[in-house]
Each structure stands twice: as structure tokens, then as C-alpha cells.
Amino acid sequence: MKSVQELPGRADSLIVRTRVRNYSLIVVAMGSIALLLNATLAGFPVALSGDVVLPDFMAHWTGGRLVWLGLVDDLYDPAAQTSVQVAAVPTTPGLAWFVSPPLTALLFLPFGALPYGWAVCAWTAVSVAALGLALRWTKPLLTDRRSEHRLFVLVMCSTPPFLELVGAGQDTALALLTVMLSQRLAQRGRRAGAGAVLAAGLYKPHLFVLVPVMLLVQRRYRALAALAGTSLLAILVTLPFVGVGAWTNWARALASPLYSDQVQVSQTWKMQSVSALSTALGAPSNGAYVYLALGAAAFVWSARRFREDTARIWALGLMTTVVFSPHAMEYDLVLLVPVAAYIFGRVNTKTMRLLAVATSVLLWSVPVRHALAGLGPHAQLLSAPWSALPLLGLWVLLANPEQTIRATVQDSCDLN
């Protein structure tokens, strides 16, 4: 029994600076080489895996392409999207369905004007630049550990969400950049500007749905008004290009059985939220929004005690968004970069570190567990998003800051 009780301490003793740095360097190097080889060995833009290069970007490129071709009425038509994708890459294995808001289609219009191969190169450059700038802006969040900023950046780049985002061509880097820019403006007292910037979250609304709640908790009414006004203006600006019909078609697509089956149910193994875990264990998928409402209520209840601490509000708010979101994929965990910076800089306890390591291990094992799930009905539980549990544990600690801060005094780590 004593040896079992000593396991957490022994595991934590392995998390030393040299080991963390070296392993992170190895992962970044090997991951970069693997992504490059996958993209080039089979005949770009066809990937070695048999898919197209940046398969998730294909969906966004398709939205921009349809607008470029003037096919706005077919923006959410799976058949029209398939036609465009096959014309671009004849060997494409299946539909990469564009189901983002019409605003996103306009955002990707410049990429849709390019042939797919050139668009891939341009988008990769944009994503890497966005990630780099967002990571650079995390330094103030590290407080007393600012000297470890380079190590923090290296560790973040070695995580599965970062590699998945770049390798699949996802767009969460823009969401992270939006959050970091807003925080930067808020720190400089430009609250209206911070709120206006957050309106960019319309392109990925499920990751920004709790932002108004976060602003209300802090009583940032000026920022909230700027957010509402800029969001309304952004929607109105899209109307001359896509019309009202595109917005109604988007709403219909999200409510369709195809979306429920192909995204909310069949892709739960890729998601990382509590609702996805519940769906994977057999609960109805339409209960996902109940979890979101419960998470929002729990956030408000907890955050009222430290509403003046902006960094803590945003850390808990972003963690709430991911843990309780109806649709939080692995690459969406990139949005937790400021949360990781907050934890590393201010509440770096043994429990926090072990939960973070557990999350990382579970994320790295996602492809293997999903493959093993095909061995039989009893093995399907292997592919469930179990990473939601340590993420929920991190949320609980962030929601109880007094206990966490006391633990920090008793249990600190210098990573030496």
C-alpha cells in the first residue's frame, strides 16, 4: 500500500527540466519530419496516408472556393462540396464537409481563389505565424517564471494538439491568436478594443460561446457592448456576399441528422469534452448542450469569488469552454495555451503536473486506442475520450483557487 501511495511522488520526480526539454525537442523534430514526409512522398497535395494534405483545411478551402465560384446557394450542399473537392484533388477519399458559419467561408475566400496545393502552403504559413505570435504573447502570463518562456513554448509545440492542428490544417490557431490579442489589449486598458477583437470568434462560435459570460462576470460592460456591436456588424457585412440564405442553410446543416451522425456521434473519439465522453459511453448526443449549460453555471458560481483577476477568469473560462463544449476536438485544446501558462506560472502544483501529464499520455494514445477499438464491441470503450477526466480534474482545481494557491506554497517545482 505504501508503495502505491508513493507512485504519484515518484512520477512527479521524473518531471525535471532537462528531461522535459530534451523530450520536447525530440517530439518537435520527429513530428515535423513526419508531417513533411507525409505531405511530400506520395505526390503533393496527396498525402502518404492516402488522404489529401491538410484534410481538415480541405473543408475550409471548399467553403472559400464555393464563394469564389459564385456558388453561395450550394455552400452547405454535400454534393456540391464533393464536386469541388474531386475537381481539385481527384483522388480525395471522401467528403471534407464544410459546416462552419458563412463568415468563415468569406475568411477563407483568398485561399479558395488559389489551387489547392498553393492554398495549403499559404495556410500552413498563416497557421505557424499565428501560433508563433500567440505563444510569444504568453510571456506575461508566466509571472515569476518568465525566464522559462522558451521552455514553455517548446513544450506547447510538442503537444498532440499543436501537431494535429498543423498537420490537419485546422484553424484553431486563429482562435488562440484572437484570445491572446484580446487579453493583450485588456492589459493595456483598451477594453472596448479587446471586446471588438473577440467578435472574430464568430468564425468558430462554439469556442467563444462563453466569452459574453466571462465579460459579464467581470462586469466588463464596455467590452461586452463592443463585442455585440462588432459581431452584428460582421454579420451584416457578410450579407451582400452570401445573403441571409447562407446563414439559414448553415443552421439547417447543424440541425441535420447527417451532422449529428457524422460529427457528434461518429467523431466522439476525436473530441475531448465531458459531453463527448458521455456520448461515447452511450448517452444521447443531444444532451451535450446540457453539459454546456451546467458548465457555464458552475463557472459563474466559482468565478464570482475572483472576478477582478482577469488571468484567472480567462484560465477558468477557457478550461470550461473545452471541458463542457459540445464540440471540442483534440486540436481545439490549443485554446488552452493561456491556461497552461497560468498554471505553469502561478499554480504549478504536483497534482496539476500529474493531471497535465495524464492528459498528454491519453492524447498521444488516441490513434492507438481508436485502432484497438475495432477488435470487438467490448474494446470500443478504449476509443472513448478519457482525456476529458484529467481535464475535468484541472478544471476543478482552477475553480477552487484558494485551495490551489495554498498548495502552491507547500508544493512548488523549480524544474531543475
Per the structure block, which three cell numbers stand in for 15? 518531471
Residues in the chain: 416
Contact present, 352 and 394 (Cβ < 8 Å):
yes
pLDDT confidence of residue 259: 76
Instruction: Give every CB contact of residue 305 below 8 A, 6+ residues apart in sequence.
Output: 401, 402
> Over the chain, what is the mean pLDDT?
89
Q: Which 8-state DSSP code applies to residue 384?
A: S
The predicted model scores a pTM of 0.92
Give the C-alpha distances (Å, rounded to integers) separating 60 from 102, 106, 109, 169, 263: 11, 10, 9, 9, 16
Question: For residue 213, what is its C-alpha cell?
Answer: 459570460
Rounded to an integer, the average pLDDT of 16-29 is 92
How far is 9 from 271, CA to CA, in rounded Å?
Answer: 30
pLDDT band, residue 12 (cuts 50/70/90): low
User: How far, in Å, CA of 187 to CA of 380, rounded?
Assistant: 46
> pLDDT at position 335, please?
96
The separation between the first and the last C-alpha atoms of the chain, rounded to the nearest angstrom, is 30
Confidence of residue 412 (pLDDT cuts 50, 70, 90): very low
Cα separation of 204 and 101, whole Å? 8
Per-residue pLDDT for 9 more than 70?
Answer: no
Cβ neighbors of 258 (< 8 A, separation 6 or more) are 78
Task: With beta carbons less than 8 A apart as the criterion, state whether 252 and 97 touch.
Answer: no
Mean per-residue pLDDT, 347-372: 90
More confident residue, 20 or 60: 60
For the ranges 234-238, 344-348, 365-369, 375-379, the maximum mean pLDDT occurs at: 234-238
Instruction: Give pLDDT, residue 402.
Output: 61
| pLDDT per position as a tens digit, 261-279 | 777 667 888 888 998 899 8
